[in-house]
A and B are shown apart, each in its own frame.
Chain A
Amino acid sequence: MKLAVVTAGLTQPSSTRLLADRLAQAVGERLGGAAETTVVELRDLATDIAGNFVTGFPNARLREAIDAVTGADGLIAVTPVFTASYSGLFKSFFDVLDPEALTGKPVLIGATGGTARHSLVLDHAMRPLFAYLRAVVVPTAVYAASEDWGGGGDAFTDGLSDRIARAGAELAALMRPGRHSPNGKQTEEVVPFEEYLASIRPPS
C-alpha cells in the first residue's frame, strides 16, 4: 500500500514535519507495517513549483513528487498556518496538480500553528480545497498548536496523540491498494471526428 505525505513546513526541524511523521506512523501502524511511505517536503521543491508556474510544466524533480502523490493509495497533507490559511507554498503545490489528479483519493489533513485559535483553518480552508479536488477527506483532521506538543486533552477535546491515532485509523480504513489510477485520469479516448462535425451541424 502506498502512502504519500506532503508537508509544507519551512524550518528544520519543523513541527509541521513532526506532525506529518506522527500521522504517517499512525497510519502505518494501522496497516500493520504494510505502508510504503513517500514524504514530499515542499520546502525542497519551492523553486521547482515556482518554475512550474512560469513554464507551465513540472521539471523532472517536481514530476517525481507529483507522481508519488497522485499514485498513492492515501495522502497525508500538512501545512503550517500562514495569514489565516494554508501556506502559499502548500497551495501552490496543489495548484500545479491536474484538477482531477486527486479524485476519490483518501486524504488526511493536518495543520500546525502557534496558537489553537487558528484550528478552524482545517475546516474553513483545507477541507474546501480538497473538496474542490474531489478527494475524500477523513472526518478527523488534526491541528497541533504549540501547547499541544506538551499537554494532554481537556474536557472537550482528546489530546494530540489520541487525535493522531483516530485520524490515522480513519485514513487506513479507507486505503485500498490500486484503487486509484496512477494519474487520476483514464486513458485518453479519441472522439471520432464525425462526432465533432455532427455537433456543429445546425438544427435542420
Chain B
Amino acid sequence: MSATALPQISTRRRLTDKVMRGSLLAGTLIALIPLILIIYYLIHKGLSAWAMSGFFTTDPTGSFFGSPGGIRSAILGSLEIVALATLISIPIGIGVALYLTEFGKDSWFANTVRYFVDVMTGVPSIMFGLFIYIVLVIGRFGGSGFAAWKGAVAISLLMLPIVIRSAEVVLLLVPSSLREAALALGAPRWRVVFKVVLPTSASGLVTGSLLAIARGMGETAPLLFTVSTAFALTFSLNQQMNTMPFLIYTDITSPRAAIQTIAWGTALTLVAIVLILNLLARFVASRSRMA
C-alpha cells in the first residue's frame, strides 16, 4: 500500500496553535511569579530580623522607643492556641466523618450534615470570630472578655469542616470487604471502627489533620474578636495572648522600621512552620497511599 500524504495543516492553524500554547505556558509562569516574589521578600527581609539578638528568646516590649524585643510570646501563644484548637476539632471532626461513612451513609440526616459542612467550608473565617464574640466574649463567659481558649474554639470551628471532609474521603477509601470480614467474624461495630477502620485510614487522617492545623495556624481574623493580643508570655488560656498572625497584623501599621522588620521576621517564621506542616502532610500521604 502506498502511503497517502495527509494535507498540510494550514499556516494559520499552525500559528494559532503555537500562539495559544505559548500563552498557556505564559499563564502558568505568571501564576508562579507571586510565589517567587513573596518567598524572595520573606527571606530577604525576614532573615535580617532572625539575625537580631534575642529574636526567638525574648518577648516583644511593645514600647515605641528602645529595643522592640523578640517574638517568643507570639510563637508560643500561636502554638498553645492551635494545640487546643486541634484537641477540640480533630476528635469531633473524625467523629462526624465516622458517623457519615459508618452509620449515616446516604440517609437524609447524613446528607443534611454534609450540606451544612459544605456551608461551613464557605463561611469566611472572620464570621467564626464574630460567632464566638457574640456567644462567648460579650457575656464575659468564664470570667474574662477576650481569652485564648475562645480563640482556640473559633479556630477549631474553622478547622472542623476541613477535618470532616478530608476524613470522610479517607474513610470511604477503606475497602468495605475489610469491614465485612470483621463483622462476619463476629466483631461488634465499635470494634470494627476502632480496630479496622481507623487503623487502616490512620495516615490519611493524619494528613488531613496536619493540613487543618496548618490552616488554623495562619488565621488572623478570628483572633481579632476572641483573643485580642498581649505582649508578655502567658500560659493561662483564660487571658489575652500574643500570636504570630496578630503580631504581624499590628506591626505592619507601625511607622518604625525596626518593628516592620520584626513583622517580616515573624512572617518568615509563620510561613516556615506552615510549610513544614504542609510538607509533613504530603510526606505522610505519600508514605502509605491506599490502593
Tell whether A and B belong to one assembly.
no
